[in-house]
């Protein structure tokens, strides 16, 4: 639900329901930003922007992707996700379900911006905001 000023408000009887609503609202407001930032952290930005320089730097997107893959943030997150306790994992999955519902559903009044994968690359074919849409998984959310 949004108020007069367009601010989302999430109400739920359960924590999982609240996390689902938060994921939905976040994706509605920041879907493209979520996708872009996750691709940077995953070392996958060049897949969509090509091998171009970033601003006035001599570093290209491929150079940056190589560095991010070497640093290994995505792998560190994958190792963290499997160690989460069941209640935390359930809340994280509810958040992901909300993100996926907004980005891949038809309920939003805005154009979906995309999402990124965590464990298991479950890709969709639609192209939104210039970025291929993928389903969000718990590992992807922790990368933010």
- For 34-81, the pLDDT digits (tens) are 888 888 888 988 988 888 776 777 889 899 899 999 998 888 888 888
Handedness of CA 74, 119, 100, 83 (dihedral sign): negative
Instruction: Look at residue 130 in the predicted model and tell me its pLDDT.
Output: 43
The verdict on residue 138 lying in a domain is yes
The answer to whether position 10 is within a domain reads: no
How many domains is the chain built from?
A: 1
**Confidence (pLDDT) at 55:** 74
4 within domain boundaries: no
- Residue 7: inside a domain, yes or no? no
Q: Is residue 112 part of a domain?
A: yes
Residue 114: per-residue pLDDT: 35
- The CATH number that applies at residue 45 is 1.10.439.10
Tell me if 111 is assigned to some domain.
yes
Q: Which residues, including other chains, have CB under 8 Å from residue 143's CB and lie 6 or more apart?
A: 37, 38, 41, 42, 73, 74, 77, 118
pTM greater than the 0.75 cutoff: no
> What's the confidence (pLDDT) of residue 50?
85
DSSP string of 97-137, one letter each residue: HHHHHHHHSS--SSPP-----SSS--EEEEEETTEEEE---
pLDDT in tens, 103-125: 877 444 443 333 333 333 333 32
Domain span at 58: 15-142
**Residue 136 resides in a domain:** yes
* Position 12 pLDDT exceeds 60: yes
Tokens read off for 66: 């190589």
Residue 1 lies in a domain: no
């Amino acid at each position: 639900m949004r108020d007069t000023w367009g601010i989302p408000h999430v109400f739920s009887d359960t924590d999982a329901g609240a996390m689902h609503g938060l994921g939905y609202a976040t994706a509605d407001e920041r879907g493209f930003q979520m996708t872009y930032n996750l691709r940077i952290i995953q070392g996958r930005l060049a897949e969509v922007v090509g091998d171009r320089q970033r601003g006035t730097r001599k570093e290209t997107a491929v150079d940056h992707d190589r560095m991010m893959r070497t640093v290994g943030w995505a792998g560190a997150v994958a190792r963290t996700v499997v160690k989460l306790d069941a209640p935390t994992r359930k809340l994280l999955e509810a958040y992901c379900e909300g993100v996926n519902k907004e980005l891949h559903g038809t309920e939003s009044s805005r154009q979906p911006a995309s999402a990124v994968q965590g464990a298991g690359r479950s890709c969709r074919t639609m192209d939104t905001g210039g970025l291929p849409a993928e389903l969000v998984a718990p590992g992807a959310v922790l990368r933010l």
